[in-house]
Structure 1
Amino acid sequence: MSRTSESVHPWPAAAAAEGNAPSIWNGLVRHPWRLLALLCLTQIACWTVMPALVNVGPPNDVVEGFMWGREWVLLTYKHPQLPCWLLEISHLLTGSFRWPQYMLSQLLISTTFVLVYLLARDIMGSTRALAAVLLMPSIYFFGWPTPQFNHDYAQMPFWAGISWLLWRSARDGRPGWWLALGVVSGLGLYAKFSTALLLAFGGIWLLYDSRARSRLATPWPWLGLAVFLGIAAPLAVELFRLDFLPLTYAAHRNEWVLVHRARLYYIGVQLAGLSAVPVVLALSGLLRRRASPAQEPLQPNPAPERRAVIYLAWMGLGPALLVMIASLFTGTGESWGATMYNLVGALAIALLGHRLGAAELRRLTVLALLCVVAVSSAYAVTRWTGCNVRGRLQPVCWPAQSISRTAEAIWHEAVPAPLGIVGGEDGVARLAGLEAADQPSIFTALDRRLAPWITDQRLRDQGMLLVWPKGWQLTPQQSTWIDGLPVKTVSFDWSLRAPPLEINFAVIPPGRASFPGDPPGPPDPE
């Protein structure tokens, strides 16, 4: 092959050096979006199938999300309810509580992959963008915790989307990008309020970068801001109506962390979650110095401009570093930073992309797919052995379907009307209502402020099934509720080795129940 043909088609020469790579790989690497699709499909398949095979019950946050989702409220004492709406929609579409939540989580993770690819492609071309995404499965937060679909994972694609749309808006200045940025930013708050942190960092960058700042002289950023404010306004109204309970919950959670966790616990978890990234970079060869820049498998792209690298570092690490520092003084939940590392891979490739060649890209691909398959398999083995061999009671060990069916049967033995409300110890009460055909509401913590859908009139009209595990103490008010009523204790097998669970059920018929006094604050987050 002549020098001219090599410069136009560098991949065949690289393939020869690597031992004539198969034509399938040749086709994939010429079209990075195909490798991206393969990664996304592998992520969705592995992380949907493995948890569905071994988890008898959904994780805690998922059960809570399902129970709150059926209420269709805008806001609870914890968070906005977009993730819970998505869970309810997944159930309405499939009729199952066993696997849709896992697929939903992976669809959002894969959407995040795509959005990060789009941002990185704008900055450094499709090949390096693909490499950036191939680093993401080595980050702990894109694997092991993802079966527990919650607000942290629901907001993940919004963070990636905001980062991409802000870059595009500042680069092109077209009204469509600014309007899209306003919409996605507003909807991101419905996933979790902490999206506001990224918006703050984006606003600071918009003022700092001269090219982006020049766009403020046009009407389109302000139109996007108006759209954002219009979308966010109902949340602000509801937050005021609920007396800012989500902020109270966040403060309560932070206090709990300060008491129960070491001062450096949060930072340690974050660093541990990122620890595999340098290992993958080393194994792929990207940390190895070269005498000359590597030749790209596709047309080579120039190194990203300095302002783009600053943008990736600011948006990709700024919020995470700020929260790490804040955790030293305020306490922070270990998973709350999960969504803040979307751009770590893009930043790494922006700095090391000049070393990316055919061999490095191939190793990155193999390592990414290996991470997905191996970690999801390890998750399945660990969860199954934890429940059945070690006898360690985890949320996914609880026999959710059996508990729901038993709860409903006990209710209908005593009351001819549908089961409308379940309450008691929140963990088992949610499981009791989860798969019940009557679709009862959860009376969260038996506190009217935390479950506004349970009115005094509804409680009198419908009664309630009180559910609690053996060893959990009823309050004096709750004991008064069931005074003179039969309490049925049922054993549930959950492990091949451990003894059965014992759960108590008491039917409080319509007309008997009344509200207890309000407790001093939200229930303990653990």
Structure 2
Amino acid sequence: MLQVYSDPFVMNFIERYSLWLLITLQILVWGLIAPAFHTALPLDVAELMTLSGEGVIANYKHPNLPGLLLDLFIGITGKVEAVYLLSQLSIVVAYIAIYLLSREFIGKQKALVATLLTSSIFYYHWPTPEFNHNVLQMPLWAMATLVVWRAVSTQKLFYWFALGVIAGAMVWSKYSAGILLLWVFIWLLVTPAGRSSFKGIGPWLTGILFLVIAWPQVSYLIDSDFLPIHYAQDRASSGGIADSVSFIAAQLADHLFFVILLIVGGLVGRSALVAKAARLADKTTFLWLVVVAPVVMVALLPVIAGMGLKPMWGTPMFNFCGLVVLYFLGGRITDARARRIILGALLLLPLVGVLYAVQHIYRADMSDKPMRTLWPQAEIARELRSAYQSETGSQIKIVAATDWLGGLITSSGGKKLRVRIDADLVKSPWVSDNDISEDGVLVAWLAGQALSASMSDFIESKGFKLSDAKRRAFIWHPSKADKPIQIEYIAIPPSINK
């Protein structure tokens, strides 16, 4: 590293192409190498697969833009594994938006440093092989922040149009997107430039596009009696000051490498504060209201609304941490310090990737239970599909299981299956009782796991008992042959003659 750092040609090359190097490493490490150690899909990807092909716009948990995009990528590539590329492309788009906005606020060099700093935050590496609503929110939040700034500062219709489309897409990704949109609207109302925008057609075009795109989601919420909202409330804790402190502590922990890079880069200390003359009022207000305020609002939500938080709910809110730090506290930045941070961030990314691989390789030495990405998915799907056909004489078409197990079975071993999550018609209304009567169903669950009431009631309604279940054992690692994954199932044949 010292040799590289002392070579002017190499360092000039790294600095000049740092953004492209970051993008390349992101795709290579987290889109190709890290998933190579998986023997099963990540949890949230398996869950998305339970909705695949159903044309679902939302389910009892979330809107389904991630699932629809995954279907598109599978349709193009023919492979479920395309999800890993989709996830990293999402992160890459976020990086580009971060860099473009940062360049307008703090110049090219600091913008590169800000983007590389942001890449060190936990949300941008370790969880990214698991494509889900949080990952998709990151580029959408970043792009929305970029285009609203440009819409107001340039008053070009293109950016107002883009803002309407992106804002609508945000609602199709996760309903919590409303937090950012609320603060964007507040910023438009309280700043002179924002208010003057309403004299033109731009904001009105944005509003119309947003309503048109978001309306199906609004309609779903009303028709489902706000089922996803109730789901979020059920998952949340009771709230209070302790919950706010816990959420903030988790976010600080997720910024550990970020802080280390600041220290290594020499940006912490006296003279860090940027001179007020270099900070323009309109940019400062924008950062406080559109970038910082959503984080503060969410952190205080347990106190204000009495509703607890999950740490991962903060995922899209830290896109511009590097920008905020360098805008307010970048006074110590020099060419040498900038290069130190850039090099550190580029080395950090593959280093974390190695730790991710090591965790998978040595999991059996550390635990009797596999991570979900180490389940023998192909064997599970093949064995259960085969068992259904041999016991009923019919081709399997429908699975009733948890979203995790159902997702594994449907996305491997042959033709994609339909999934009734937890055998619950409320959770999967697109798989009707008539469909099940006509095609039959494989009911499967993890042995020893308490069945949901919907699963138990469903089995009984089909004339079966839990004691009718058969069991299959699956070895996930040779050294753990005595600790297999055990799955119970009941093969229910079609009850309607075709």
The alignment's TM-score, normalised by the length of structure 2, stands at 0.90
> In structure 2, the residue corresponding to 1:25 is in which secondary structure?
helix
Q: Are residues 1:94 and 2:77 paired?
A: yes
State the identity as a percent: 30
Whole-angstrom CA distance in 1 between matches of 2:328 and 2:245: 29
- Give secondary structure in 2 for the equivalent of 1:505: strand
Match for residue 124 of structure 2? 142
Q: Partner residue of 1:452?
A: 429
Cα deviation per residue 1:321-362 (whole Å; 9 max; x = unaligned)? 211111343111221111110011110111233432221111
Q: Which residue of 2 aligns with 1:61?
A: 44
What corresponds to 1:3 in structure 2?
Answer: none
Instruction: Provide the secondary structure at the position in 2 that maps to 1:23.
Output: helix
Write the distance in 2 (CA, Å) between the matches of 1:293 and 1:78: 44
Query: Equivalents in 2 of 1:127, 1:407: separation in Å?
Result: 56
Corresponding position of 1:44: 27
**1:303, 1:102 → 2: CA distance?**
41
- 1:447-470 Cα offsets, whole Å, 9 max, x none, are 111101111211110110011122
Greater mean deviation of Cα atoms: 447-456 or 307-316:
307-316
Which piece of structure 1 moves more, 355-364 or 283-292?
A: 283-292
Match of 1:287 among 258, 268, 278: 268
Superposed CA deviations along residues 207-246 of structure 1, whole A, max 9, x for unmatched, are: 1111222111112211121111111112212222222211
- Residues 469 and 258 from structure 1, CA distance in 2 versus in 1: closer, same or farther, beyond 3 angstroms? farther
SS in 2 for 1:507: strand
- What code does the residue aligned with 1:369 have? L
Map 1:48-447 → 2, pairs under 5 A:
48-97=31-80, 99-255=81-237, 264-289=245-270, 303-328=278-303, 329-387=306-364, 389-447=366-424
Find the partner of 1:25 among 6, 11, 30: 11
- Change beyond 3 A, Cα 1:361–1:206: same
Provide the C-alpha distance between the structure 1 equivalents of 2:244 and 2:176, rounded to a whole number of angstroms. 22
Q: Distance in 1 between matches of 2:98 and 2:461?
A: 56
Question: Paired residue for 1:505?
Answer: 489
Provide, for residues 13-55 of structure 1, a one-character-per-residue CA deviation record: whole Å limited to 9, x for no partner. Answer: xxxxx997433432454xxx73211111111111123331222
Moved more, 166-175 or 377-386: 377-386
Letter paired with 2:288: A
C-alpha distance in structure 2 between counterparts of 1:437 and 1:64, whole Å: 18
User: CA separation of 1:208/1:292 partners in 2, compared to 1, >3 Å: closer, same or farther?
Assistant: closer
Say whether the 8 Å CA contact 2:401–2:422 is kept in structure 1: yes
Q: Which amino acid aligns with 1:424?
A: A
Q: Which amino acid aligns with 2:339?
A: R
Equivalent AA in structure 2 for residue 60 of structure 1 = L
- The Cα shift of 1:95 comes to 3.3
* Conservation of the 8 A alpha-carbon contact between 2:401 and 2:419: no
Structure 1 pair 176–50 and aligned structure 2 pair: CA distance change class (3 A):
same
Give the CA deviation at 1:389.
Answer: 4.5
Contact 1:309 1:347 in 2 (8 A): no
CA distance in 1, matches of 2:51, 2:190: 41
Would the aligned equivalents of 2:14 and 2:343 in 1 still touch at CA under 8 Å?
no
Distance (Å, rounded) in 1 between the aligned partners of 2:13 and 2:458: 69
| Equivalent position amino acid for 1:466 in 2 | V
Partner of 2:472: 490
Q: Give distance in 2, aligned partners of 1:225 and 1:425.
A: 39
Post-superposition CA distance 1:43-71 (Å, at most 9, x none): 11111233312221112111001221322
**How far, CA to CA, are the matches of 1:390 and 1:44 in structure 2?**
30
In 1, are the aligned partners of 2:49 and 2:410 still within 8 Å (CA)?
no
Aligned-pair RMSD on alpha carbons?
2.6
Residue matched to 1:15: none
Letter in 2 for 1:305: L
Q: Which runs of no fewer than 5 residues in structure 2 stay unpaired?
A: none
After TM superposition, the score normalised by the length of structure 1 is 0.86
SS at match of 2:12: helix
The answer for unaligned runs of 5 or more in structure 1 is 1-17, 295-301, 513-526
Distance 1:291 1:73 in 2: 50
Deviations along 1:261-289, whole A, 9 cap, x unmatched? 96743222112112332221111112244
| Change in 2 beyond 3 A, CA 1:167/1:234 | same
Are the counterparts in 1 of residues 168 and 214 from structure 2 also a CA contact under 8 Å?
Answer: yes
Q: 1:412: Cα distance to partner?
A: 1.8
Flag the 1:338–1:325 CA change in 2: closer, same or farther, 3 A.
same
Distance 1:292 1:466 in 2: 61
Contact 1:124-1:303 within 8 A present in 2 as well: no
Structure 1 residues 117 and 272: alpha-carbon distance in aligned structure 2, compared to 1, 3 A threshold = same
Q: Which amino acid aligns with 1:384?
A: I
Rate the CA distance shift 1:151–1:483 in 2: closer, same or farther, 3 A: same
The secondary structure found in structure 1 opposite 2:369 is coil
Do the aligned partners of residues 327 and 44 (structure 1) sit closer, same or farther apart at CA in structure 2, a change above 3 Å counting?
Answer: farther
Q: 1:205, 1:263 → 2: CA distance?
A: 25
What is the DSSP-based 3-state SS (H/G/I as helix, E as strand, rest coil) of the residue aligned with 1:337?
A: helix
Does the 8 Å CA contact 1:488/1:505 hold for their aligned counterparts? yes
Kindly indicate whether the alpha-carbon contact (under 8 Å) linking 1:389 and 1:496 is maintained by their aligned counterparts in 2: no
Deviations 1:420-447 (A, max 9, x none): 2101344323322221423111111211
Of stretches 385-394 and 118-127 in structure 1, the one that deviates more from structure 2 is: 385-394
Q: Secondary structure at the match of 1:134?
A: helix
Residue 281 of structure 1 aligns with an amino acid whose one-letter code is: L
Distance 1:355 1:120, change over 3 A: same
CA distance in 1 between partners of 2:76 and 2:56 (Å): 19
Q: Give the 3 Å change call, closer, same or farther, for CA 224–445 of structure 1 in structure 2.
A: same
